[in-house]
Structure 1
């Protein structure tokens, strides 16, 4: 059989001693015997590991629990120290706020009070007091007192503090709040944090008169946890109320990066529980693996009182269990060595068992390469290998037989496709080309386009010029598709054309076709037909329908209307003589458009039909009859793409235009098209 390799002799079995491989080229590391040895060794290793892990589990559990307790206690102690230091600031600020709000101090007394507040607060770098005037004539007090003596009168300097976000937030806040770390250039480029408190008169609903705040160097806070951060395996982070990392071993405070931004930037999604605890101001402890260093850690998140600050402390598990792991690694190494020795011994024993399987695998590989003439060995065995060999041999014989059948089917299919292609060409050749009639001031263009869904289809159309100056046209759709529809279509076209040549009456044409198509129609196929005649001189039109959709009339102004052709019964079911006629006249510049249901019932991939509304919108008066057909079918395909065409598509268009008569200037007849061409040449524009 062509396209298959057929070896003349069975391929030799390859021995492992000649090429270092087993069976059909399987390397020794992947062979069955090696895998048996590996599994045997693995069982020994697992037993040793279980023994070692069981012994180490109790010790590791105790060590881990002690380490967690130590981390929690150290974190809570550090958070308590921070809270005490920050509480001193909040209490002092609250005292000054109450004093100023409940008394009527002058500017000098306010300055003295503010300076005393700064000196009384340990580590305070400065304080700010802003007091709005109670009355219009009162003076504004806005003064900053620094511990280093660099005081500043904000009111005298004209500093627009009311426009600053920190002032607006403070006077609107119900209580005091801690700021994020910021660089204080006035204090000599020192990173600061500030506690801000609104200043209000006593009583409920009192008006806010200003604010008071104290500056605290950030180093005063970080120094309290610096010793813990320098311990081996410990990592300490201090997070400001808005999430800024005020202290972190990887992020400098100058970066002003929040904890959430840090997690997104370095991909530390293992730290997400800590970020959630910071946002909710909740205490939490959890074990996680650092996605950046792949190190396992135990992290504790502790709120610093009610200040909004959060302390994060993480301890490495590597240092916690380093000594215990050393002993475990030694035990595992010894066990691995013993397992290796066991695997080598088992591999020798597995060689005898695996050799039949290796040869069977070699035969299967040759079958995969197309060598179906080589018999499968070991088919006489009574064990699992023999059963598998017999199954492969049965598959080999079946594949050979099926390949032969596929080759015969392919040849038959190729012959059918060739015949269908010829049938398609013959069917399309039966359809007439469009026609253009120019006669006594009348320009009539009749065009049609058909696209079958398969190689051949059941749609059809035709044009005939009769001897009395009329154009006879027909469009139809057979109820089926494929070869049966194409044969019925050819018969229907022949019957209609013969009847049309024999009589001018559309009723008689359809009646004769109805009678002839019923004869011998055992398959009960039928066809819907729309036929008509147009007087090429006057434009008078007569149409009759045998179950076909009514055509559309496209007027010169772009509007469309249905032609009310009353349908009769389809052709092929039963003999009928009742086919009502529609009579009318095509307006000047109008286009009559008929179609099959393959247009309106074309479905896209969302199972949505093209429909009559899209059909009407696709028709434009400025295009010729040929262009109307081409554009409509193109838009149908664009709508359904990428869904396949489900039915034959046929469009027929007839356009009528009246051309004004122009006197001829020569003894020869000049058509309107030639006259227009001549005018265009003579016109300099």
Structure 2
């Protein structure tokens, strides 16, 4: 019994009761626990989604409001300076003040401006008789007269920019060594007389320590997860957690140097003096942040405030983990309770499982329990009892089928041996100095096949040969092949022309061919002494002629109709000479239609490359088939493979050397004609 399972090889998990880890009650408990876990997970995910949106929205609003408030504080500090500067400009431009009065006025303005540490007033003379005024007044009393010192203030870029500017402007941060190495920013204002088109007479500026501005946002910059950046009007980073002001690096330079491509959008907002709010990921650290860009009034300064999402999400994650832990504990308790309840449900099923295990061991004598129950367990028990009887019957049938299959395999093996015995072996025919080698090889795709070949010697100097392919495979093709070979041998013994042989075979194979099978055949005769060769084809591929020097050509043989469909008498002949050292090679479509694993066919174009000039007929056949197998690799053989080779040799004097190819024209007398 080939398909029966002996008790000695029954798997361990079938032979006995299921382990508690794989039992039904454990599965019910696990599924119940899984459902609870899924519910807890959905609850946690839903809570996380809602809480995350709520917390992030609050954080964004808080960041925006904080940035606006800080920008307002900066604007107030800067606005006081600009108001004072405008006041000095209006006063000096509308009044005729002496140098002492100008100095006193400037000092009063410096002292009255919160945070201001110094001021500069430059006044060009109205007439040639007036003297220029250029004096710096410091809050600590260390004044400086630029005219008396000979300081070339008119050559300085800040002076030229101010007198050419239509209004006031803030300088970038700079280190003031005169004030003791303090970083300063200066507001510069041109002095012009009242009226449209008035000329510029000079400038006034007030100095403000940079710390007065950065201190306004310093507390915000030290909050956990917060980052504050203050950008001067020309883009210099006046305050940044990574870049000190002493580097005088612009925001654009920092983005390029540090690889912070995520800040390009913020840099664009700074350039156009527009507010911006956006979320981004730090291109260096990978940290997710929410950044607000807020212009500081109309001063040209910009404030960037960023808050990290990590601290916000950390608080949310802590609460979610607590919720998940409580939910998991509840799921575990529920799973234990369900397992106790499942025990009462699973006991009948465990009884049926034990009965099924005995059946798997081949014990069909023990009755199946719970047959009288009216629920699903009883239905399963009755089904199992019915299966017990069916298995006995099927085992008996399997024994019969196994015996029949073994008999069929034995018969097919015998048929293969008979078919191989029908095929003639290779041969060598010697006639004085002429020698003719004939060899063929057939490899069926199944136990038996439909390809065939034959060698027939009907007279002393002639050799008939044929190669063919039946339209099917297996046993039907083998039977039709045997009939075709027999018909060809009889026809070759009674007719002198391949055309007449194929005509006779066509007539006989049509008779009684109710299965409508057919065969393609290449039939020919070669004279051993002269090398004269005549060929005819019944739907078969034309053969290849390989010369001794390696040249090859496909013979111009026109095919007639295949044998078996209907009686045919139109089989064109090819007549020619088989030169010394040349080989005539024919094959079936099992060669050209041999497919590799990628479904690529060997094809007729690869055949010449697989041939060896000067090799024996046997080597040519076996070499070509070896090349086909190497091409197809592990792909299964799809069709019968057959190769036939006829090679003619001539002795020269007392030796067996081949005649030079140039001594015979391969087709000097070759003719093609049809009847």
Classify the TM-score, shorter chain. 0.5 to 0.7
CA displacement, residues 232-260 of structure 1 (integer Å, 9 cap, x when unaligned): 4668999xx9xxxx978xxxx9x987469
User: Are residues 1:629 and 2:616 paired?
Assistant: no
Q: What does 1:58-457 align with in structure 2 at a 5 Å threshold?
A: 65-73=57-65, 121-122=172-173, 231-232=223-224, 258=259, 299-301=289-291, 313-315=307-309, 316-317=311-312, 319-321=314-316, 329=323, 333=326, 348-366=340-358, 374-457=366-449
Distance 1:223 1:445, change over 3 A: farther
- Partners of 1:546 and 1:222 in 2: CA distance: 103
1:25 aligns with 2:18: yes
Structure 1 residues 73 and 367: CA distance shift in structure 2, 3 A: farther
**Hey, what's the Cα distance between the residues in 1 that align with 2:439 and 2:70?**
93
Residue 4 of structure 1 corresponds to 5
Q: 1:532 aligns with which of 506, 510, 524?
A: 524
User: What's the counterpart of residue 598 of structure 1?
Assistant: 590
Q: Is the 8 A contact 1:80 1:304 kept in 2?
A: no
Tell whether the 8 Å contact from 1:470 to 1:535 is kept in structure 2 after alignment.
Answer: yes
**2:479 equivalent in structure 1:** 487
SS of the equivalent of 1:567 reads coil
Contact 2:29 2:336 in 1 (8 A): no
Query: Retained in 1: the 8 A contact 2:470–2:481?
Result: yes
Q: Helix, strand or coil: the match of 1:497? A: helix
- Are the equivalent residues in 2 in contact too, given 1:233–1:319 (CA < 8 A)? no
CA shift in 2, pair 1:545/1:356, >3 Å: same
1:309 and 1:629 map into 2 onto residues whose CA distance is 89
Residues 513-662 of structure 1 aligned to structure 2 (within 5 Å):
513-604=505-596, 607-619=599-611, 621-662=613-654
What is the deviation of 1:536?
1.1
Return the offset for 1:79.
10
Q: 2:466 aligns with which of 467, 474, 494?
A: 474
> 2:641, 2:267 → 1: CA distance?
65
Question: Given the superposition, is the C-alpha separation of residues 57 and 613 from structure 1 closer, same or farther in structure 2, using an over 3 Å criterion?
Answer: closer
DSSP 3-state at the match of 1:629:
helix
Query: What TM-score does the superposition give when structure 1 sets the normalisation length?
Result: 0.58
Kept after mapping to 2: 8 A contact 1:458/1:480: yes
In terms of Rg, which structure is larger? 2
- Check 1:537–1:67 CA distance in 2 against 1; reply closer, same or farther (3 A cut): same
1:586 deviation in Å?
1.6
Give the match for residue 247 of structure 2.
none
After alignment, is 54-63 or 615-624 more displaced? Answer: 54-63
1:587-615, CA deviations, whole angstroms, 9 ceiling, x for partnerless residues?
A: 33332121222223334455554433334
The alpha-carbon distance between structure 1 residues 80 and 614, as it changes in their structure 2 partners (threshold 3 A), is farther
Secondary structure (helix, strand or coil) at the match of 2:501 reads helix
Tell me the SS of whatever aligns to 2:556: coil
User: What are structure 1's unaligned runs of at least 5 residues?
Assistant: 15-22, 84-107, 127-146, 149-220, 261-273, 663-669, 674-685
Deviations 1:547-574 (A, max 9, x none): 3222222344544433233434433344
Cα separation, 2, equivalents of 1:307 and 1:628 = 92
Structure 2: gaps (5+ residues): 76-151, 162-169, 182-212, 243-253, 270-274, 659-675
